[in-house]
Amino acid sequence: MIPHVPTTPSPGRKRPTIRDVAREAGVSYATVSRVLNGREWVSPEAVRAVREAISRTGYTANPHARSLATGKSGSIAFLLTEPQHLLFEDPNFSVLLRGVAQALSDRELTLILMIASTPEERARTIAYLSGGHVDGVLLVSPHSGDPLLSQLVRAEVPIVACGRVLGYEQVISSVMADDRNGGRSAVEHLIGAGCGRIATITGPQDTAGGVDRLQGYHDALIAHGLTIDPGRIVHGDWSRESGAAAMRTLLERSPDLDAVFAASDAMADGALRVLREAGRDVPGDVRVVGFDDSGLAATTEPPLTTVRHPLDRVSEEMVRLLTDVIAGRTPLSITVPTTLVVRASSPA
């Protein structure tokens, strides 16, 4: 017996419909619909008959028709609120994007990449999202005070953010690393190595990650009776160049510093470059610890001790939580633990 091989309908051939599947399977139209939508109350025999009929007829779902029937687009926006170049320069964004893409693919959802860092981009973004073109938004790197946040909330689009959204904790769900404890573990590692003049290069203070990692720095110094010197605190913007600029400032303000905690691996890499240029040995003269454990950390010179930000788990949890929010569940936040990864820039 020659097995049946389903074929894609040619342009002149009628596309198989649900009714064709029902007739082939010997079941009702409603039964086929329940099987296709994953509903309960369908016998195993009926499910098997429908699946075999789909195979024989070559039926495929019409996404547009399904969208009209369900009111769902089947699309999710990955919305980055940073300048476009950071998507390619900061390894965290690409890692997060890859993880989200896989998690959405596993759920047969389509990813739409959107960037909104300028007023014009924000306006286009809000117009598109308000038009019902996506079922939800995965919001990446939100900044407090950004008018986009209030516009998103008013648009009533289901949202899950990567990181706590300052001022919107009660209305926007989030998945975050334990930034505060991660920052504290980084600085306590430096203290344990004998460092007492520890500087920090912070992330932006209009982001939860920037605020919480700096608070972790404070926590560790206070717990160990060390003075918090404002001259040893310089703010960056997550980028390599901001880390380099901050390191130059720190060497001018506090030339006797013996350690630096940078709130991102990219900023730590910039700091390492400036320390080399200044003739400072790492870790002999100055120890350096970063945050993220991105692919960059193992390739710096020397390899970077850092706090692992588990972006693979964060991306999966963001997608899972967004499907809950779309289903009408109450917004909530999930915190994922971090771990310290010790390398040559600050050995144990």
Whether the CA torsion 333, 335, 336, 342 is positive or negative: it is: positive
Specify whether the CB–CB gap between 251 and 216 falls below 8 A: no
At residue 68, the pLDDT reads 41
One-letter amino acid at 272 equals L
Low-confidence stretches of the chain (pLDDT beneath 70): 1-14, 37-40, 61-72
Specify whether the CB–CB gap between 225 and 219 falls below 8 A: no
The full DSSP string for 172-238 is SEEEEE-HHHHHHHHHHHHHHTT--SEEEEE--TTSHHHHHHHHHHHHHHHHTT----GGGEEE--S
Question: Which residues on adjacent β-strands are paired with residue 289?
Answer: 261, 305
At residue 94, the pLDDT reads 87
For residue 144, CA distances in Å to 81, 167, 319, 338 come to: 11, 7, 23, 24
At residue 108, the pLDDT reads 85
At residue 38, the pLDDT reads 62
Q: Looking at the chain, which runs of residues are DSSP E strands? A: 75-80, 110-115, 136-140, 159-162, 173-177, 198-202, 233-235, 259-262, 287-292, 305-308, 333-336, 339-341
What's the CA gap between 240 and 155, in Å, rounded? Answer: 35
pTM above 0.75, yes or no: yes
* CA proximity to 201, closest of 294, 255, 251, 264: 264
